[in-house]
Amino acid sequence: MDILQIVSLAIIAALLILLLKEKKSTLAYLLLLFTGVILFTVLITQITHVFSLITYMSNQANIDRMYVEVILKIIGIAYIAEFGAHIVRDAGLEAIASKVEMAGKIFILLLAMPILTTVIESILKFLPD
Per-residue pLDDT reduced to its tens digit, 10-40: 999 999 999 988 888 889 889 988 998 898 8
Burial class (CB in 10 A: 0-12, 13-18, 19+), 104: buried
CA–CA separation, 70 and 117 (whole Å): 13
H helices present in 23-93, as ranges: 25-60, 65-90
pLDDT at residue 65 in the model: 85
Q: Give me the chain's average pLDDT, please.
A: 89
**Under 8 Å CB-to-CB from 74, ≥6 apart: which residues?**
108, 111, 112
**How many Cβ atoms are within 10 Å of 67's Cβ, its own excluded?**
13
User: Looking at the predicted structure, is the pLDDT value of residue 82 above 90?
Assistant: yes
pLDDT band at residue 96 under the 50/70/90 scheme: very high
User: Looking at the predicted structure, is the pLDDT value of residue 128 above 90?
Assistant: no
